[in-house]
Amino acid sequence: MTAKADPAPNPHASAEQVEAAWQDPKLANVLYHDWEASTYDEKWSISYDERCITYAVDRFRLAAGDVGPYEHALELGSGTGFFLLNLMQGGVASKGSVTDLSPGMVQAALRNAEHLGLDVDGRVADAERIPYEDNTFDLVVGHAVLHHIPDVSAAMREVLRVLKPGGRFVFAGEPTTIGDFYARKLGQATWWLTTNVTKAVPVLNSWRRPQEELDESSRAAALEAVVDIHTFDPDELERTAVRAGAVRVRAVTEELSAALFGWPVRTFEAAVPREKLGFGWAMFAYRTWQRLSWLDEQVLSKVVPRNLFYNVLIAGTKPV
Ligand SMILES: C[S@@+](CC[C@H](N)C(=O)[O-])C[C@H]1O[C@@H](n2cnc3c(N)ncnc32)[C@H](O)[C@@H]1O
């Protein structure tokens, strides 16, 4: 259960609230993610099985260089719990606390944790003001959250405050500045091409999503422009963590060819009716992404500058 003081989810924001959210990235995050919470796992193909456990643990190992085990872990911007719950299932932490600005997401994460039988509690919380005592956690994690937080330096200082001395933090899934640029361009081109071709070519009309779903996707994409605040240069992200007081700080990057393949694929999937793409397509997309990720890690990361990759991950330690 969420703490009594936590606000309730608001999945159906009023027009006035949406209007106000354009000037307020935190309100936009709450409305956008409350609205997304019930369909989020499906939209992003999130599961709590071997596939996502391996993905989460591999990201952790790549960033931190180890996989624990740690005792009590906190997740910031947990969403439905994808990162921490899968890390816990992979043995990285034994007890978890999920937090998110969106009440709907905290509820979804707690529901998922309960189904999985994991020892997890949760709070609605802003990463810039974490509602826990100093020196509480052995580990703080986050996935795809830093780029939504207006004051990343303040959040980093909070992470170091709530960590025990010697505790670790690991953030993964953040967009690099260059990666975000090419991903967006590829996404926009794929969206334009798919929606226009399926509209213009009669034999492909059945591949066009119903207009109201396309409108909804466009509105969501518009709010995305408000909630996606930052992209990161890996060197600068390391400096931010060091300035906040962290030691043994290291950023790594991943996904170059995998991102060049993955973003058009994900956009295409969003632009056509779900039933058109069956299990065969899903396996093709996943296996190809896996092979390209291997190429990126084993070959391209050794010869291509790190800031050209799409994702940046960062780990560090609170001094003893
Ligand atoms: C892109 S989602 C990622 C969710 C999850 N970590 C995952 O990887 O599936 C970003 C999450 O960060 C949350 N968020 C945004 N700003 C936040 C803030 N200032 N403090 C805490 N959470 C925040 C959002 O509500 C959302 O659930």
Q: From the CA of 224, how far away is ligand 1's center (Å)?
A: 12
Domains in the chain, CATH or no CATH each: 15-176+228-256+306-317 (3.40.50.150)
Q: Which of 10, 24, 29, 110 to mutate to test the pocket of ligand 1 (most atoms within 8 A of CB)?
A: 29
Higher pLDDT, 131 or 23: 131
Q: Which residue's alpha carbon is at the smallest distance from atom 27 of ligand 1? A: 79
What's at 91, amino acid-wise? Answer: G
Q: What percent of the chain has pLDDT over 70?
A: 97
Buried b (16+ CB within 10 A) or exposed e, 26-53: bbbbbbbbbbbbeebbeeeebebeeebb
Q: Which residues pair with 176 in a beta bridge?
A: 232
Phi-psi region of 200 (alpha: psi -120 to 50; beta: other; left: phi over 0): alpha
Residue 220's pLDDT is what? 65
Q: Is the CB of residue 148 below 6 angstroms from any atom belonging to ligand 1? A: yes
Q: From the CA of 78, how far away is ligand 1's center (Å)?
A: 6
- Strand ranges inside 182-281, DSSP E: 247-254
Segment 116-128 mean pLDDT: 98
Tell the residue number behind the tokens 């509105």, with chain if given.
Answer: 219
What's at 25, amino acid-wise? Answer: P
Which tokens go with 91?
């043995």
Most confident stretch, 18-27, 36-45, 86-95: 86-95
Compute φ and ψ for 141, nearest 5 degrees.
-130, 160
Closest CA to 89 of 122, 62, 67: 67
Residue 219's pLDDT is what? 67
Q: From the CA of 29, how far away is ligand 1's center (Å)?
A: 8
Compute φ and ψ for 249, nearest 5 degrees.
-85, 135
What span, in angstroms and rounded, lies between the C-alpha atoms of 159 and 136? 10
Q: From the CA of 145, how far away is ligand 1's center (Å)?
A: 5
Instruction: Supply the mean pLDDT for the chain.
Output: 93
Q: Is the CB of residue 105 below 6 angstroms from any atom belonging to ligand 1? A: yes
Q: Which residue's alpha carbon is at the smallest distance from atom 10 of ligand 1? A: 145
Tens-digit pLDDT profile for residues 177-213: 999 999 999 999 999 999 999 999 999 999 988 877 7
Residue 245's pLDDT is what? 98
Q: Which of 148, 231, 311 to mutate to test the pocket of ligand 1 (most atoms within 8 A of CB)?
A: 148
Q: From the CA of 144, how far away is ligand 1's center (Å)?
A: 7
Q: From the CA of 196, how far away is ligand 1's center (Å)?
A: 32
| Cα 46 from chain centroid (whole Å) | 11
Cα Rg, the chain, nearest whole Å? 20
3-state secondary structure of 262: helix
Q: Are 64 and 246 in contact (CB under 8 A)?
A: no
**pTM of the entire predicted model:** 0.93
Closest CA to 136 of 10, 312, 318: 318
Segment 133-138 mean pLDDT: 98
Q: Is the CB of residue 77 below 6 angstroms from any atom belonging to ligand 1? A: yes
Can you list the pairs that 61-69 forms with residues at least 24 positions away whose Cβ atoms lie under 8 Å?
Answer: 62/172, 62/252, 62/254, 62/313, 63/170, 63/171, 63/172, 63/250, 63/252, 63/313, 63/314, 63/315, 64/168, 64/170, 64/315, 65/250, 65/315, 67/91, 67/92, 68/92, 68/93, 68/139, 69/93, 69/94
Q: Which residue's alpha carbon is at the smallest distance from atom 8 of ligand 1? A: 143
> What is the position in ligand 1's atom list of the atom closest to the CA of 46?
9
Give the least confident one: 3-7, 13-17, 240-244, 271-275.
3-7
Residue 2's pLDDT is what? 45
Q: Is the CB of residue 79 below 6 angstroms from any atom belonging to ligand 1? A: yes
